């Protein structure tokens, strides 16, 4: 019997379709995913000091940079998220998590979007038809995938930084060109996926496949 990977899916400060999202998470093979608000994750980690998860996946939208001087929770948030760069756990940044903490250089670097701080939040547009192109078919996340089309929200950003490996792109004239990319930070693998706005995307089989493969890749089982 294959041991399932334990994954924390961190949410907060952004609406999403709860039932379709959790239904999608439950459908991903070989993954045991625990959706939780960032606040619950921080308190749990701060008090119990356990490396409970193989992968930490972010689907959150907090905007205020955590600081030691603001209060106990902000201090614990800063310490806990900073510590992730030293644990070796895999990290995933999904959709609006790429826009969280826009003025925090550390978060920008982890996401592979160093230009975020200068340009602020991207413009966005929902219900867009995206033609997705597989840029790197040799990577374990995108191996054996063919180009596809899906409905999703777009962001108007520049491409990720040069230390990233681009996996998926789109030719949509208003979207950032890069849709999915990977990088490493210390001993952690990181996967960033710009897709994932609502049930139109959650139900797409290629989206689900890429997300599952991305989680497994950062966990170093691919």
At 49 the pLDDT is 61
Which letter, b or e, does each residue of 82-101 get, where b requires 16 or more Cβ atoms within 10 Å of its Cβ?
eebbeeebbbbbbbbbbbbb
* Contact predicate 93/58, CB 8 Å: yes
42-94 confidence digits (pLDDT tens): 988 877 766 789 999 999 999 999 987 777 888 889 999 999 999 999 999 99
184-218 confidence digits (pLDDT tens): 999 999 999 999 999 999 999 999 999 999 999 99
Compute the mean pLDDT over every residue in the chain, rounded to the nearest whole number: 93
Hey, what CATH class is 5-121+179-218 in? alpha beta
Res 169 pLDDT > 80 = yes
């Amino acid at each position: 019997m294959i041991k399932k990977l334990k994954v924390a899916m961190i949410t907060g400060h952004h609406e999403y379709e709860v039932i379709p999202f959790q239904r999608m998470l439950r459908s991903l093979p070989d993954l045991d995913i625990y959706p939780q608000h960032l606040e619950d994750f921080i308190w749990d980690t701060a008090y119990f000091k356990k490396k409970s998860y193989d992968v930490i996946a972010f689907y959150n939208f907090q905007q205020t940079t955590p600081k030691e001087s603001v209060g106990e929770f902000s201090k614990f948030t800063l310490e806990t998220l900073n510590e992730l760069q030293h644990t070796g756990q895999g990290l995933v940044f999904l959709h609006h998590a790429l826009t969280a903490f826009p003025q925090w250089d550390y978060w920008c670097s982890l996401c592979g979007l160093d230009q975020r701080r200068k340009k602020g939040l991207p413009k966005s547009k929902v219900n867009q038809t995206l033609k997705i192109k597989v840029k790197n078919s040799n990577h374990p996340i995108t191996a054996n995938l063919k180009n596809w089309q899906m409905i999703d929200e777009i962001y108007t950003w520049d491409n990720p930084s040069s230390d990233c490996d681009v996996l998926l792109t789109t030719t949509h004239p208003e979207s950032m060109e890069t849709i999915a990319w990977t990088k490493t930070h210390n001993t952690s693998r990181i996967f960033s996926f710009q897709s994932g706005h609502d049930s139109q995307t959650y139900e797409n089989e290629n989206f689900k496949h890429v997300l599952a493969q991305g989680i497994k890749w950062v966990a170093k089982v691919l």
